[in-house]
Structure 1
Amino acid sequence: MEQATQTPGRFVLNVPDSWAELDVTGEALAETRAAAMAAARNFREQAEINDLFRQAREISRAARRRGALFAAGTATMFDDGLFLGYTMVFAISVPPGRELTLPVLAAQLSPAPASGPGTAPRSGNGGEPSDRKVTTVTLPEIGQVARITGTEETPLTAEDSVRMLTMHTVVPVPGTERDYLIITCASPNLPLRAEVYELFDAISGTFRFLPAAAPAGA
């Protein structure tokens, strides 16, 4: 899927065929919810499914509010349950006189929530999730970039939040010194940590820039 950017022009990020650009009011998502509800074994599972789809709606709205350049997601029923996943791309620019350091970026990507039942485990260092890792990875079409992973408490509304596995991949925009694109992947399926991060790594690895499209009639 391609989305426009000012510099260098466009980017491409491939997602699985079962994913679609986030539109949680769409017919496809309604069908998935109906199938999941039909497969639920009891009222508790139905309530959990309803809560997951409510989270999906709020995540879609939050992506639009934050100005996502691209957002895609999936709600897919498997034999062992429902999988929810999201991928978004955001643009950030560092003001003159300031530097984008990894500690600052990590803090901005996931502000510490208020304490309370169900919050993600946090270290005693700056309120960061205790499982947060800051590493570097090599994207095939880009080169070496920074990556931040961890279990984060993601706010949905002023009252509600949800724990999610997250992966943020920080891509400098070529030809600029202060512009970056952030590929953010997230899923509330915490027990599938290894599989989720493997999927997110594969999705992020498809990211590449394209030249700006030629003007019409050129």
Structure 2
Amino acid sequence: MTSAQRFLLNVPDLWDQVDLSGEELARTRARALSMTDDPRQRMRINDMFRQGREISRAARRQGALLATGTATVYDEGLFMAYGMVFAVTTPRGQELTLPVLSAQLGISSATGVAPKDRVISSAEVPHVGTVARVTGTETTRLTADVDVKLLTMHTMMPVPGQTGDFLVVTMASPNLPLRNEVYDLFDAITSTFRFLTDDGEPVEVAPTG
């Protein structure tokens, strides 16, 4: 099997590979604030943008291979979401199986415990095969004084030809009322993931069964 050297993840056109803290974010924040005069709604919008900046900074600190996201104003309101890819390597002398790795994901950083709605399952990614997935509503500690609840989806992609190594695709959104729609979107984005060779060709998935 040809070894994987790179990866590809297709994201919607309105998502940017940026740190969500620059001029575009400021313009989107201004548009969102202009849509309401309700002080509580304006406070919530400001909180969401503050959370967005902290999430992107946290992704950089944790060594994300890819960080992408969106802050988009629709007629129905503001939608924010983030996508990140991290490399996970098996510690020398230890076995990191999919069940073990799954059990370590989806833990709320603010509390150290798994959310009540956490689900560990399998998923079919067309260009990868059967993978482990963890979903749940996590309370994430961004700074000493900022906790945020996020709908999260972590999907583990085994690296072809490198036993025990994974790329973890993490998707997150603070739009909790849109739970079903958000998870459908995250699944669609994650399903585009594929490993590539140095020449940019897809790495063939070994048949199973």
> What is the TM-score normalised by the length of structure 1?
0.85
2:187 corresponds in structure 1 to: 201
Query: Hey, what's the Cα distance between the residues in 2 that align with 1:108 and 1:22?
Result: 28
CA shift in 2, pair 1:174/1:29, >3 Å: same
1:118 corresponds in structure 2 to: none
> Is 1:55 the equivalent of 2:41?
no
Cα deviations across residues 33-91 of structure 1 (Å, max 9, x unaligned)?
11001002311111111110000000000000000000100001111110000000000
Query: Hey, what's the Cα distance between the residues in 1 that align with 2:68 and 2:170?
Result: 11
**Count of aligned pairs:** 198
> Is 1:165 the equivalent of 2:151?
yes
Provide the aligned C-alpha RMSD in A. Answer: 1.8
Query: Hey, what's the Cα distance between the residues in 2 that align with 1:98 and 1:170?
Result: 18
Alignment map for 1:39-54 (pairs within 5 Å): 39-54=35-50
Alignment map for 1:115-154 (pairs within 5 Å): 127-154=113-140
Query: Hey, what's the Cα distance between the residues in 2 that align with 1:114 and 1:183?
Result: 21
Query: Hey, what's the Cα distance between the residues in 1 that align with 2:65 and 2:103?
Result: 21
1:175 corresponds in structure 2 to: 161
Does the 8 Å CA contact 1:14/1:207 hold for their aligned counterparts?
A: yes
Does the 8 Å CA contact 2:102/2:133 hold for their aligned counterparts?
A: no
Cα deviations across residues 69-127 of structure 1 (Å, max 9, x unaligned)?
00100001111110000000000101132222455434533444556xxxxxxxxxx93
Letter in 2 for 1:88: M
Cα deviations across residues 12-53 of structure 1 (Å, max 9, x unaligned)?
000000000132232221111110010023111111111100
Structure 1 unaligned spans of 5+: 1-6, 116-125
Partner SS state of residue 143, structure 2: coil
Partner SS state of residue 100, structure 1: coil
Structure 2 unaligned spans of 5+: 201-209
Query: Hey, what's the Cα distance between the residues in 1 that align with 2:86 and 2:180?
Result: 25
Does the 8 Å CA contact 2:32/2:45 hold for their aligned counterparts?
A: yes
> Is 1:38 the equivalent of 2:24?
no
Letter in 2 for 1:62: A
1:108 corresponds in structure 2 to: 104
Cα deviations across residues 168-216 of structure 1 (Å, max 9, x unaligned)?
00000001012100000000000000000000000000000110149xx
> What is the TM-score normalised by the length of structure 2?
0.89
Letter in 2 for 1:74: T
Query: Hey, what's the Cα distance between the residues in 2 that align with 1:187 and 1:114?
Result: 17
